Structure 1
């Protein structure tokens, strides 16, 4: 086998990421050497590869689904929004500057097509198949001229395209037809067909519509995937706790000890890598919820201030909404608080930022003896260490450099009383360390909570990826997908008017 496929979507959050991961896992289980690829990603959830490159977490998850090591080749362009109108551009894993949306789409994006095509070709030379994920919708006709992630890359690589539609939103047939009809003739020639996602009910009731869709478009539907809870792992757009979906207490696995442990995550602006709390949600008896009001902290045993692309903006948001006094009371009462990355910086005494916010000198919450200075170079590392008597692995993504002036050492940060801070994302995925941390939190919170001795976050992640592979194997036409990957889009596909100019 030698080829590839582009998984596009009628909308954002249609399920492109999980379908791509599912196809990668299914192919890997067949013994196919496969790699994921997304030319351009816009996300605040990112990951650091072993070579020190920053890529989208969705592509890292897809690489795990494919059972290969993630690299910068799999996501050559990453956009990290800093506001509604500008983003940091990360090229081949390294930041190259801030750019407005108009500036990026006005010229920079088009110039990157050669780079992303080169990355794709390098992957194709190393793997039997490359499964590409699109972004948003391929029918964003106002952006087609500079497109490098949907039909732009499909046409450059001559890859067939399968369009995923979220039927749970409604209007999926109109979305499939309209998406195809808005494309130029040369792009339509690559759209092989469709994949229905998140279907509830009796598939036989859908079949007449699928037959009509084929008669209207001349294209096959390659499967109807049922709605499945808890599959949104490491997504770009959605804010949800993935593994085991521990959001409502009624859905939480029974605790090992006598009580539940309640975790409140402050939903700060430009929140990044909120996937850090997935490992907490994976624990039986742990309830994780995102909050935006200080009164929601009252019954929380642990408050987490997560990472953010806008540390100073998040600090101002916390103050404006009344969180500062609530967090100060918690610290004075010895009730646990954990700050991760930007959240760690917010807990410090002082921030000097002429890079991210350009706000200059700003006072932090003063709950940890830490001073932070932002520098232009970004720290991108995969540290390993020990804390609470256990081995820990993590990854760092930050411009702010912390000077720790006191407190007890905690990873790269510190602890004062029940207030903890570190730059290390992903540290809670280290099972023994997570259990030790939760025992300390429960003791400080006065809870009779005992973490499960056998919870393996890595095993749970593998189970999730296998569930994605099962969805494809059991509900998609895998023989037809293999033919697409091997031979490309069928010839003679009809053109659907009106079509958009190329």
Structure 2
């Protein structure tokens, strides 16, 4: 197989970002390139065109490579449901939920099989593969049955490039420690080092670069400066960086940072809007005086509802809405707005027949089902929703149905069927459709409603598609400027020629 693997000295060192950049760079150089990550652990997912679920990072990387995302790019997705259990999504479909010990004991062989078949299929369709590792390749307690780092490099038979984050400190120890803990065979596979998130004068690192090359015998292919970007991350470690504390703008949006938050990327379009601040809120003291509240998706709706209740945020949100505030519930957040939530089969809590009161902000009851719905969605806003017949595209990933007990105004019409709810001219919105705010016309209309309530002038529409493509191209240009891409390609080609 022609390709390479990006591994890291730890989580959140920039593996996903570098893989995204490389997908664009190789595409620009004429390669038909695909991303691959054998196993993701993330509640931030992506729905493919055929209604399958993969990790969002690989969906983003497919976009960067200008190709359609498929389940083979991320055959195993683990979605944490609690501290001890995760849902396994296998080739885009819900497989089962297992604890960590059960997963290692019963799933390993199945995992190897699906990884091998996915890589084989991708190798038939593409000229090159950019493989992303996970965490660190030297988790000694887990390496006997690992499915994400050196075992994958061995299956694909590709060289490895090791990425280290200098911004967090200890970069020399992290690189030398990682290489030392690798077996001799694994160490021989590492053909390059990338230093990521550098700040300051690079000339001050030149002696360090030389020391690393002399000490390891491995070339440092690049020292990449820290870059602010708006490209989606894949896990909870990315959230703080994406939504750092910022000055409150004319329009202030508070997003609830739920313990099992999923698809927080629903709020990312606001990062591109001038005069709009978007903040993650996890405590009562952080709530402030927002213009709107968003309750995002979650992998454990009832658990996160109880978390909001225990922190006092549920009552604070209800008071905010009763005082005329604007709220949007998306997926799990939508379910929380119900009068009651019923977990008949235990698919949300693990307890069959469990039920609890919701926020009681919409006249509906949510019942969790046994089967997950994953589908791409296209429709329009309902003419009476407060947003007159605007086109909306997105996707759904959810267990359960929200059934209304009486007349209500839907938010959307999808294939002639009502979806979601709109109350008080859009002050209370609920929907199962993710990417709602990625729709430029809808997002602009919604923001302009908020502006109008404050006596602020309306603003023009921002094109998310244009911004997204600019981000991919700008990231690729930034990385290419500081990375020896030619040397990287030579490493990839030489390995293929030597190992066939």
Contact 1:189–1:489 under 8 Å retained in 2: no
Counterpart check, 1:356 vs 2:355: no
Contact 2:448–2:459 under 8 Å retained in 1: no
- Deviations along 1:263-290, whole A, 9 cap, x unmatched? 0111122011111100122211111001
Contact 1:80–1:87 under 8 Å retained in 2: yes
| SS class of match (1:400) | strand
> Which deviates the most, 460-469 or 375-384?
460-469
Counterpart check, 1:435 vs 2:444: yes
Contact 1:241–1:288 under 8 Å retained in 2: no
Counterpart check, 1:386 vs 2:380: yes
* Separation in structure 1 between the aligned mates of residue 455 and residue 163 of structure 2, nearest angstrom: 46
Q: Does the C-alpha gap of structure 1 residues 190 and 39 become closer, same or farther in structure 2, counting only changes over 3 Å?
A: same
Q: In the alignment, which residue of structure 1 is the partner of 2:202? A: 203
Cα deviation for residue 471 of structure 1 reads 2.3
Q: In the alignment, which residue of structure 1 is the partner of 2:366? A: 372
- Deviations along 1:11-62, whole A, 9 cap, x unmatched? 0000000000011111111121111000000001001101111001111111
> Which deviates the most, 128-137 or 476-485?
476-485
Contact 1:135–1:149 under 8 Å retained in 2: yes
Q: In the alignment, which residue of structure 2 is the partner of 1:304? A: 294
* Separation in structure 2 between the aligned mates of residue 32 and residue 144 of structure 1, nearest angstrom: 33
Cα deviation for residue 242 of structure 1 reads 7.5
- Deviations along 1:133-169, whole A, 9 cap, x unmatched? 0000111122112112100010111110001000011
Q: In the alignment, which residue of structure 2 is the partner of 1:403? A: 403
Give unpaired runs (5+ residues) of structure 1. Answer: 253-259, 493-502
* Separation in structure 1 between the aligned mates of residue 451 and residue 308 of structure 2, nearest angstrom: 25
* Separation in structure 2 between the aligned mates of residue 201 and residue 280 of structure 1, nearest angstrom: 29
| SS class of match (1:168) | coil
* Separation in structure 2 between the aligned mates of residue 414 and residue 187 of structure 1, nearest angstrom: 54
Q: In the alignment, which residue of structure 1 is the partner of 2:488? A: 481
Q: Identify which of 470, 476, 497 aligns with 2:477.
A: 470
Contact 1:303–1:337 under 8 Å retained in 2: yes
Q: In the alignment, which residue of structure 1 is the partner of 2:246? A: 248
* Separation in structure 2 between the aligned mates of residue 241 and residue 278 of structure 1, nearest angstrom: 12
| SS class of match (1:290) | strand
Q: In the alignment, which residue of structure 2 is the partner of 1:156? A: 155
* Separation in structure 1 between the aligned mates of residue 157 and residue 81 of structure 2, nearest angstrom: 34
Q: In the alignment, which residue of structure 2 is the partner of 1:255? A: none
Q: In the alignment, which residue of structure 2 is the partner of 1:448? A: 455
Q: Does the C-alpha gap of structure 1 residues 230 and 57 become closer, same or farther in structure 2, counting only changes over 3 Å?
A: same
| SS class of match (1:142) | coil
- Deviations along 1:97-125, whole A, 9 cap, x unmatched? 11111111234134311211211121111
* Separation in structure 2 between the aligned mates of residue 170 and residue 466 of structure 1, nearest angstrom: 29
Counterpart check, 1:316 vs 2:315: no
Q: TM-score, normalised by structure 1?
A: 0.92
> Which deviates the most, 89-98 or 211-220?
211-220
Contact 1:339–1:422 under 8 Å retained in 2: yes
Q: Does the C-alpha gap of structure 1 residues 278 and 449 become closer, same or farther in structure 2, counting only changes over 3 Å?
A: farther
Q: TM-score, normalised by structure 2?
A: 0.92
Contact 2:233–2:239 under 8 Å retained in 1: no
Q: In the alignment, which residue of structure 2 is the partner of 1:48? A: 47
Contact 1:404–1:413 under 8 Å retained in 2: no
* Separation in structure 1 between the aligned mates of residue 112 and residue 455 of structure 2, nearest angstrom: 56
* Separation in structure 1 between the aligned mates of residue 204 and residue 432 of structure 2, nearest angstrom: 51
Q: Does the C-alpha gap of structure 1 residues 192 and 450 become closer, same or farther in structure 2, counting only changes over 3 Å?
A: farther
Q: In the alignment, which residue of structure 2 is the partner of 1:263? A: 253
* Separation in structure 1 between the aligned mates of residue 435 and residue 75 of structure 2, nearest angstrom: 22
Cα deviation for residue 170 of structure 1 reads 1.0
Q: In the alignment, which residue of structure 1 is the partner of 2:384? A: none
* Separation in structure 1 between the aligned mates of residue 496 and residue 457 of structure 2, nearest angstrom: 54
> Which deviates the most, 229-238 or 301-310?
229-238
* Separation in structure 1 between the aligned mates of residue 38 and residue 372 of structure 2, nearest angstrom: 22
Contact 1:242–1:278 under 8 Å retained in 2: no
Q: In the alignment, which residue of structure 2 is the partner of 1:72? A: 71
The runs of at least 4 aligned residues of structure 1 exceeding 6 Å deviation read 489-492
Contact 2:9–2:136 under 8 Å retained in 1: yes
Q: Does the C-alpha gap of structure 1 residues 161 and 76 become closer, same or farther in structure 2, counting only changes over 3 Å?
A: same
Contact 1:271–1:309 under 8 Å retained in 2: yes
> Which deviates the most, 324-333 or 60-69?
324-333
Contact 1:79–1:89 under 8 Å retained in 2: yes
Q: In the alignment, which residue of structure 2 is the partner of 1:256? A: none
* Separation in structure 2 between the aligned mates of residue 409 and residue 450 of structure 1, nearest angstrom: 28
Q: Does the C-alpha gap of structure 1 residues 237 and 292 become closer, same or farther in structure 2, counting only changes over 3 Å?
A: closer
- Deviations along 1:358-388, whole A, 9 cap, x unmatched? 4512111100112111111101011111112
Q: In the alignment, which residue of structure 2 is the partner of 1:290? A: 280
Cα deviation for residue 235 of structure 1 reads 3.0
